[in-house]
Amino acid sequence: MTEDIARSESLLREWQGLMRTGVDAGRRGEPMVARRLYLQAQALTQSLLARPPCDAVADDDRMAAFVATHLKLADSFQATGHVSLALAQLWTAHQTLMALVRDESACISLRQAALRHSRETRTALFEYSAQHGSRPEIADALRDGCASTLLPPGAFVH
């Protein structure tokens, strides 16, 4: 158990270091270096999300890391003119959060954290639409997200 706690805390510290270094690289005008660091950080967020419930790292911190990484990756793609790849990051983050919200087998604190952080991904998708125009996948993701948070389990949209 102590090893699991230490591993989770180590993952979060490593993620924080990669993100900090990535932000610094972006500020120095090195978007490709920043992107490489964000991609490494993204792999760590997958490990953080896979950790067991009641882990040493709070569910809200795991969700924050996951969302922040996807948003930074989207920014890095957009900054280099890869707007479709930016959208893919935003869409993936939002869909992952909505899947967690709907997953009745996930622990409640993780589902609640996913719902709280979905505001950030929803806002990012709206901002993308404002800058680049509406896309069907954005509308679908936003509609699915609304339905998943408003309908009781077992209900469906006609």
Of the listed ranges 5-9, 18-22, 42-46, 132-136, the least confidently predicted one is: 5-9
Residue 99 lies in a domain: yes
Q: What is the mean pLDDT of residues 102-124?
A: 93
The pLDDT confidence band at residue 101, using thresholds 50, 70 and 90, is very high
Residue 30 φ then ψ, to 5°: -115, 70
| Mean residue pLDDT across the chain | 86
Range of the domain at 43: 2-150
Cα 108 to Cα 86, 111, 140, 155: the distances in Å are 30, 5, 25, 19
Residue 128 lies in a domain: yes
Per-residue pLDDT tens digits for 25-76: 999 999 999 999 999 999 999 998 888 765 678 899 999 999 999 999 999 9
- What's the rounded Cα separation, in Å, for the pair 57 and 51? 9
Amino acid 145: pLDDT? 56
Amino acid 3: pLDDT? 73
Q: Does position 95 have pLDDT exceeding 70, yes or no? A: yes
Of 9, 8, 35, the residue nearest 21 (C-alpha): 35
The CATH number that applies at residue 133 is: 1.25.40
Residue 119 lies in a domain: yes
Helix (H) or strand (E) holding 145: helix 136-150
DSSP codes, 107-134: -HHHHHHHHHHHHHHHHHHHHHHHHH--
Q: Would you say the pTM of this structure is higher than 0.95?
A: no
Residue 47 lies in a domain: yes
The pLDDT confidence band at residue 100, using thresholds 50, 70 and 90, is very high
Residue 61 lies in a domain: yes
Residue 156 lies in a domain: no
95 burial (CB, 10 Å; 0-12 / 13-18 / 19+) is: middle
Q: How many domains does the structure of the chain reveal?
A: 1
Residue 155 lies in a domain: no
Residue 112 lies in a domain: yes
Report, in angstroms and rounded to the nearest whole number, the Rg of the chain calculated over CA atoms. Answer: 16
Q: What is the mean pLDDT of residues 3-22?
A: 89
Amino acid 55: pLDDT? 64
